[in-house]
């Protein structure tokens, strides 16, 4: 299982995200710094998918993640280029 993590500042406070890749699919969880419980995002927004794609892209550039993860996220976002 691969895990990708990032955070951002919101009006509610610091929000943490974790995307787990297992079984050929992503599962995205989120929590606030003040809340110890993680909740699963059933329908992540496009903004969350794009943030994950950016994280995975940076890992791919450092050879820490395979290209297939970037391609899968492009497909989810509809950015894949038909061949």
| Per-residue model confidence (pLDDT) at position 2 | 93
Q: Which residues contact 10 (CB under 8 A, 6 or more apart)?
A: none
- Separation CA 31–CA 34 (nearest Å): 8
| pLDDT in 10s for each residue of the chain, 83 residues | 999 999 999 999 999 999 999 999 999 999 999 888 999 999 999 999 999 999 999 999 999 999 999 999 999 998 766 55
**Tokens read off for 16:** 């943490």
| Per-residue model confidence (pLDDT) at position 79 | 79
**Under DSSP, is residue 43 helix (H, G, I), strand (E, B) or coil?**
coil
| Per-residue model confidence (pLDDT) at position 73 | 95
* Domain ranges within the chain, ordered by starting residue: 2-77
**Tokens read off for 17:** 């995200």
**Under DSSP, is residue 62 helix (H, G, I), strand (E, B) or coil?**
coil
């Amino acid at each position: 299982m691969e895990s990708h993590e990032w955070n951002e500042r919101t009006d509610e406070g610091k929000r943490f995200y974790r995307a787990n890749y297992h079984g050929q699919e992503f599962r995205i969880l989120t929590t606030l710094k003040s809340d110890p419980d993680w909740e699963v995002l059933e329908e992540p927004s496009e903004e969350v998918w794009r943030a994950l794609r950016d994280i995975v892209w940076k890992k791919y550039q450092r050879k820490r993640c395979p290209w297939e993860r970037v391609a899968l996220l492009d497909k989810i976002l509809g950015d894949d280029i038909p061949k």
